A = this chain, B = another copy of it.
Amino acid sequence: MPFKLTILGSSSALPTSERYPTAQVLNILGRFFLIDCGEGTQIQLRRQKIGFSKIKHIFISHLHGDHYFGLIGLISTLNLLGLKTDIHIYSPSELKNLIQPQLDFIKGKRKVNLIFHPLNFKKPQKIYTDKRVEVFSFPVKHSISTCGFLFKEIQKHANIKKEAILKYNIPIAKIKDIKAGSDFITDKGEIIQNIKLTKIPPQPRSYAFCTDTAYYEPIVEIIKDVDLLYHEATFPEEMKDFAQKTLHSTATDAANIAKLANVKKLIIGHFSARYNDASIFENEARIVFENTVSAKEGKTYKVK
């Protein structure tokens, strides 16, 4: 059952010849969540062989162009492909107005139905849920209103062991209670503890996306213990002053957040175009938080 993140773009505001602006796809149990949509996202989706038709939910962190300029091209392509589908866009409310004239221009031929969900920049909010997955937005600290996103599997009930049903002759009517944690009393009055009847369900997995943001401790409680954290690291420590001025993080900042939040793995990205080689960021972050990798276009990170 997949839970994996594919990086489509790891650059900051200025793309380089190697790096695209921010975009990534999170596949949780076959749901494909597109997170940010910088210029070139549709080309990167093609390269990763991720079918356009799988994208139904798009999360836009903020309205700096490197996080959304690829959206109109993607919508246009979905449309040309004749996909009659709902696309949910979770974004700052102004996004709709920014692309409305372009949407109107292709309106006659529009088949895709866009549903905009405005983000809340005052407090964390649940913005998506289904039976197995929920998504939260939460404000981060940047030069314009920006949200991070937290994606979580929902804790499943325990599964009942088939052999236990046979062994203790458990009626169907009791199964729901047992799955929810009840013990079982046999015909002879013997109490069978729940632990003997059920298999422990897998731990729900989680991913948090935090870009663009300055070092901002209030997010720690929200992203606590996630399996995977993507946190921006636009600059190395040698540019700390500039990072603070522009409300971005250094690699050390990202690692400190990862450490405080006790995450399992940290991916850093959104690297300044001044740096060709990401190892300066990675080396710096690892001093504080060992399990750090630097984002790279086309790389996929799985959570087991």
Give the B-binding residues of A (Cβ under 8 A).
13-17, 20, 39-40, 42-43, 46-47, 63, 65-66, 69-70, 72-73, 76-77, 80-81, 94, 97-102, 105-106
Contact = CB atoms under 8 A, between A and B. Distances in A.
B94 A98 contact: no
25 contacts: A13-B77, A13-B80, A14-B77, A14-B80, A14-B81, A15-B43, A15-B77, A16-B46, A17-B43, A17-B47, A20-B43, A39-B39, A40-B40, A40-B43, A63-B105, A65-B73, A65-B106, A66-B76, A69-B76, A94-B105, A98-B102, A98-B105, A99-B102, A100-B101, A101-B101
A73 B69 contact: yes
A98 B107 CA distance: 13
Given A39-B43, A66-B76, A97-B101, 20 more contacts: A13-B80, A14-B77, A14-B80, A14-B81, A15-B77, A17-B46, A39-B39, A39-B40, A39-B70, A39-B73, A40-B40, A63-B105, A65-B76, A65-B106, A69-B72, A69-B73, A98-B102, A98-B105, A99-B101, A100-B101
Lowest 5 CB-CB distances: which A-B pairs, in order? A17-B47, A39-B73, A65-B76, A17-B46, A69-B73
Nearest to A52: B14
A77 B69 CA distance: 12
A65 B72 contact: yes
A70 B21 CA distance: 13
A102 B99 CA distance: 8
A141 to B, nearest CB: 19
Contacts of A101: 97-101
Contacts of A80: 13-14
A73 B22 CA distance: 13
A17 to B, nearest CB: 4
Chain B CB count within 10 A is highest, among A13, A65, A81, for A65
A123 to B, nearest CB: 25
Contacts of A63: 105
A66 B80 CA distance: 11
A50 to B, nearest CB: 11
A105 B93 CA distance: 13
